[in-house]
Structure 1
Amino acid sequence: MNNNKKLFLIDAYPLIYQSYYAYINKPLLTSKGLNTSPIINFTYFLIKTLNDEKPSYMATIFDDNQEISFRKKEYYKYKAHRKKIPEAICIAIPYIRKILKTFQISCLHAKNGYEADDIIGTIAKKAENKGYIIYIITLDKDFFQLVTENIKVYIPPFKGNPKKIFGIEEIKEKFGVNHPKQVIDLWSMMGDPSDNIPGLPGIGEKNAKKFIQKYGSIEKLLNSTHDLKGKIQKNLEKNKNLGLLSKKLITIVTDIPLFSFHEEKFHVKKPNWLSIKKIFEELEFIRLLKKAHEYYK
């Protein structure tokens, strides 16, 4: 596939959090005391991706929506256990946006009650319809549900581990499903503690995979409880609504009207070298400045 038909979508916050926690015990500080830990790995990865993949189209999506998400309205406990964003990350975000701007990388932000996942899902599907191959760069497993022949999940390299690219076959092998979309049903049954999604009480990974193979979806499972016996049968019949709610929370929206894929908006242009040099010197990114210059050349 020609690079001109490749689109890279960066899920910003998981990468920024990873950068922050990688140095949590020994933060990287400038001579003025600025904690650059949330910035440095993200920036390094950005430069490495630009150098290695040479994408013609790219965008970074931020999940900094101040509005209550539609998922929170559906289920008030959704992500209720999440801690407040660390101050160092809040301070770092404007710097990261500025770096992306100097590299001429488009930035999008979640809004209108949607999350970054939904923005990425919508753009990925619309780009796929225009013949693009899409790589979703993320650490979030939720995106596995979007994988198709043309949409891949790209897990970036970290701490010596190489990058991993998940296509259909990799998802089937990893989760024991027949199609990537079935990971939605799998997690709807099991629940997802990271987002405080309840799932079906008493259903763990082993039973969930067994039910996926037998019934194919959570709806077919819940309509077939007469096939079951004992405690599992009672739990499923009692908690049908909880399972269906979980599926609604887990499913990424892929048809938001206010977001679209315009090639010219996502086109990667030559960066502004003087701006890069200025902000990297301010952040004291000496080694990264050399790597950035390799890309600029």
Structure 2
Amino acid sequence: MTGKRRYLLVDGMAILFRAYFATSFTGKIRRTSSGIPVNGVHGFVRYFVDAIQTYQPTHVICCWDMGSTTFRTEQFGDYKGNRPQAPEDLIPQFDLVKEVVESFDVPNIGLEGYEADDCMGTLAVKLGQEHEVVIVTGDHDMLQLVADKVHVAIMKKGIGNYQLYTPQFLLDERGLTPAQVIDVKGLMGDSADNYPGVKGIGEKTAYKLIQQFTSIEGLLGNLDQVSPTIRKKIESDLDMLHLSRKLATIHCEAPLDELDDAHCAWCINRDKINQKFTELEFGSLVKLVDQLEPIEV
């Protein structure tokens, strides 16, 4: 792969939460000898290292949410309003995990007013014009970013278990193009993000309508071809349909600072990593990192 770039975009918050809840359900939280909770960070490292081993990137970038207030909460006050507060033991790990990422000489990217999704979308669109991009996440909303050179690796249960989405695989599995992923969400809404879509239209109907009419515009232009019941639901909820589609759309023009290519070139400073691992008492993870070998560009 000499001379060829492959960027790994890591959905930091999604992986940290996954790592935290994968271990905290037992009620036993891993802590340092001084009592600092580190179970989420410890699990994050295992996922992070596995993704690097699996996809062999030349460049790595980790993206983060920067708070609960974004341009979407301005558009719809209840956006993600149903989400509980982060567990108390997870809160101190938000900063710790970024320190660990920095110890790998990987940049942490986040932007006030935007979600990590928007940062990843902006980077994917820009970098995917010339280079291979793999996005590692557990968030199926990211499938709208799939393109010829941009693939989305959805994390499944267990470390090292991914489903890699290309445009063809997305079409084969779901009968959708990346753009249609947005339109389906506009119709059915998203309970996790707390926007309703069209009241009374669920996932099965949303898929059927978009597959039949190609897009929301195609559907609205042919409402005479759908059942009176569905037509009434859509006509009664047009404003929310358009708003839900807007909320579902990843913003791919976030005002990110230019990234120095050298800054996100994947390298490894074992002394720096070992120092951080010693501080967090992650001795068992040193062997994992010792197996990593950066790829020359």
What TM-score do you get using the length of structure 2 for normalisation? 0.91
- How far apart, CA to CA, are the structure 1 residues paired with 2:31 and 2:168? 43
Is 1:10–1:136's contact at 8 Å kept on the other side of the alignment? yes
User: May I ask how many residue pairs the two structures share in their alignment?
Assistant: 292
Once the two structures are superposed, residues 1-54 of structure 1 have per-residue CA deviations (whole angstroms, 9 ceiling, x without a partner) of 657310000010010001110111222223332221111111112223334433
Which AA in structure 1 matches 2:283? I
Once the two structures are superposed, residues 47-75 of structure 1 have per-residue CA deviations (whole angstroms, 9 ceiling, x without a partner) of 23334433211100110236x31111111
Which AA in structure 1 matches 2:285? L
Which AA in structure 2 matches 1:41? G
Query: By how many angstroms is 1:155 displaced?
Result: 2.5
Q: How does 1:22-171 map to 2 (within 5 A)?
A: 22-24=22-24, 25=26, 26-65=28-67, 68-111=69-112, 113-129=113-129, 131-156=130-155, 158-159=157-158, 162-171=161-170
1:275 aligns with 2:272: yes
Query: By how many angstroms is 1:160 displaced?
Result: 5.7
Residue segments in structure 2 that go unaligned for 5+ positions in a row: none
Which AA in structure 2 matches 1:280? F
- How far apart, CA to CA, are the structure 1 residues paired with 2:267 and 2:220? 51
- How far apart, CA to CA, are the structure 1 residues paired with 2:80 and 2:275? 38
Once the two structures are superposed, residues 190-245 of structure 1 have per-residue CA deviations (whole angstroms, 9 ceiling, x without a partner) of 11101012111121222212211221111221232233343222111111111111
Flag the 1:160–1:74 CA change in 2: closer, same or farther, 3 A.
closer
SS in 2 for 1:59: strand
Is 2:19–2:43's contact at 8 Å kept on the other side of the alignment? yes
- How far apart, CA to CA, are the structure 2 residues paired with 1:296 and 1:166? 26
Is 2:51–2:136's contact at 8 Å kept on the other side of the alignment? no
> Which has the higher mean CA deviation after the structures are superposed, 42-51 or 10-19?
42-51
- 2:219 matched residue in structure 1: 221
- How far apart, CA to CA, are the structure 1 residues paired with 2:207 and 2:56? 38
- 1:9 matched residue in structure 2: 9
Is 2:105–2:264's contact at 8 Å kept on the other side of the alignment? no
> Which has the higher mean CA deviation after the structures are superposed, 205-214 or 55-64?
205-214
- How far apart, CA to CA, are the structure 2 residues paired with 1:15 and 1:70? 23
Is 2:106–2:264's contact at 8 Å kept on the other side of the alignment? yes
- 1:206 matched residue in structure 2: 204
Which AA in structure 1 matches 2:137? T
Is 2:7–2:57's contact at 8 Å kept on the other side of the alignment? yes
Residue segments in structure 1 that go unaligned for 5+ positions in a row: none
Which AA in structure 2 matches 1:281? T
Flag the 1:71–1:253 CA change in 2: closer, same or farther, 3 A.
same
% identical aligned pairs = 29
1:183 aligns with 2:181: yes
- 1:251 matched residue in structure 2: 249
